Amino acid sequence: MSVINQMLRELDARDAAASAPPAAPTGTFGANRRPAGRILGGLGLLAAGAAAIYWMLPAAPEVVEAPAAPAIARQKAAATTVAMAPAQAAPAIRNARQAVIAASVAEPIIAAPEQTRPERPLSGVPKPSIPVQSVVAPVARAEPAVVKEMTEPSPEAEARQYYDEAQTLHRAGKLDAAIGKYRQALERNPGMANARIQLAGLLQEGGQAEAALSLLKTGFDLRADEGLAIATGRLLADQGRRDEALDWLVRGQASLRPADHALMGALLSQAQHHEEAGRAYRRALATDPGRGGWLLGLGLALEAQGRTEEARMVYRSALERGEFKPEVIRFLRERSGLPAP
C-alpha cells in the first residue's frame, strides 16, 4: 500500500500549502499532524491486509462484475480536483480524502482478473450425432436357380425317331439292326402303319412270311389303314392266295397305286374276270402308258373278251415299249400278225 501512502502524503502537502498563511507554522498544527499521519498509516496497513486476504481467497463461481470506476481513477480525479480547487475548498477535499480511504478499505484497488475455466458442454443439450454409414457390404442375394422342365418326348415322337433310325439302317443294308429299330418304334406307337409295312417286308425277305402277314393283319385290326390292307394283299398274292389277295386289295382300293391296279388286273385275269381285269390295266396305264408288261396284260384281257383287233394293236405297242424274254417276244409277234425277224 506504499502507493496509497505516497498519494496521501502528497494530498496533505498540497492541503497544507493551500491553507497555511505566510507566517511560520505553529506548533499546534504540527502536533495535530503527527497523530493524523499515524492514523493514516494504520489505515493503509489495514487496506493492505484486506487486499492480501482478498487475493488469497479462491475465485467465486459466479461472474464478478467490474466496479463502476477503479479506485485509482477516483483518486486521480480527486487529486486533480484538489490541485485545481481554491484554498476555501480544503474542508471538502479533506472529506473526499476520507471517503477515498474508506472506499479503499472496503473494496480492492484493482479488480482481480477472472479465472478462465474450461467450457463444459451443457448436459441438457444433446451432442449432434454423426450418422455412421454401415461398412458392411450388402449381401448379394443369389438368384433363384432356373429349373428347366425337361419335357419327356411323347411316345409318338420316340416312335418317329426309331423309325428314322431304322430307315437309315435299312438303306445301309444293316437289316437286323433295322428290324430292331422298327420293333422299338412299334412298341412306342403300335398304330404306326409305315413301320409295320417296312418290318413286314424285311421279315418276308428273311423267309418269315407268316410272321409278316400276322404283323400286318394285327395292325389293320388296331386301325383300319388302307396301306396295311394293300400290303397284306400283295403279300398274299406272292403266296399264290389269289382270292384273299383280291379281297385285301379291294379294302384299300381308294389308295391303290398304278402297280397295285396292274396286280389286281393280273389276279382278275386268273380268276377269269377279264372285263374287270381290262379296266384295272387301263387304270394302271393311264398313269404310266409306257409299261410293256401292263400292255401285255391288257392285250390278253382284250383277246379273252374276243376283241382281237384291239388286242393286236396293244401287242404291237408292247413290243415297241417293253423288254421281254425271247419266248414272250415270239408270242407277241405271233399275236400281232408280224412276220418273224
Domains (ranges, CATH) in the chain? 1-17+44-50+69-108 (no CATH), 154-254 (1.25.40.10), 256-341 (1.25.40.10)
The residue count of the chain comes to 341
Q: What is the pLDDT at residue 12? A: 62
Q: Give the pLDDT confidence of 115-161 residue by residue, as tens digits.
A: 444 445 444 445 555 554 544 455 556 555 555 566 788 999 999 99
User: What would the grid cell of residue 246 be?
Assistant: 383280291
Cβ atoms of 264 and 239 closer than 8 Å: no
Tens of pLDDT along the chain (341 residues) come to 455 556 656 656 665 555 554 444 444 434 444 544 454 455 555 544 444 444 444 444 444 444 444 444 444 444 444 344 444 444 544 554 454 344 444 444 444 444 444 445 444 445 555 554 544 455 556 555 555 566 788 999 999 999 999 999 999 999 999 999 999 999 999 999 999 999 999 999 999 999 999 999 999 999 999 999 999 999 999 999 999 999 999 999 999 999 999 999 999 999 999 999 999 999 999 999 989 999 999 999 999 999 999 999 999 999 998 889 999 999 999 998 887 66
pLDDT tens digits for range 156-180: 999 999 999 999 999 999 999 999 9
Dihedral angle sign, alpha carbons of residues 219, 221, 222, 224: positive
Query: What does the DSSP assignment read for 3-45?
Result: HHHHHHHHHHHHHHHHH--SSPPPHHHHHHHHHHHHHHHHHHH
Q: What is the DSSP string of 75-140?
A: HHHHHHHHHHS-GGGHHHHHHHHHHHHHHHHHS-SSPPPPPP------SSSPPPPPPPPP-SPPPP
CA count, 13 A, side-chain hemisphere, 118: 2
Q: Which three cell numbers stand for residue 197?
A: 409295312
pLDDT for 105 equals: 41
User: Closest Cα partner for 33 from 18, 59, 15, 56?
Assistant: 15
Bin 62: left if φ > 0, else alpha if -120 < ψ < 50, else beta. Answer: beta
How far does Cα 224 stand from its chain's mean position? 54
Q: In whole angstroms, give the CA distance from residue 200 to residue 239.
A: 14
Check: CB of residue 202 under 8 Å from CB of residue 178: yes
End-to-end Cα separation, the chain, in angstroms: 181
The residue assigned the cell 475548498 is 89
Residues 268, 289: contact at Cβ < 8 Å?
no
Give pTM, 2 decimals.
Answer: 0.55
Q: Which residues, 6+ apart, have CB-to-CB distance to 15 below 8 Å? A: 82, 90, 93, 94
**258-262 CB contacts, 8 Å cutoff, 24+ apart:** 258/283, 258/284, 258/285, 258/286, 258/287, 258/288, 259/284, 260/230, 260/233, 260/234, 262/291, 262/293, 262/294, 262/297
Give helix 308-321 / helix 292-304 axis angle, nearest 10°: 170
- Give the CA-trace dihedral at 164, 167, 171, 173, to 10 degrees: 120
Could you give the CA distance from residue 313 to residue 332 in angstroms, rounded to a whole number? 11
Q: What is the pLDDT of residue 148?
A: 53
pLDDT score for 248: 97
Considering Cα of 93, then 99, then 105, then 111, what sign does the dihedral take?
negative
* 130: its cell numbers: 454423426
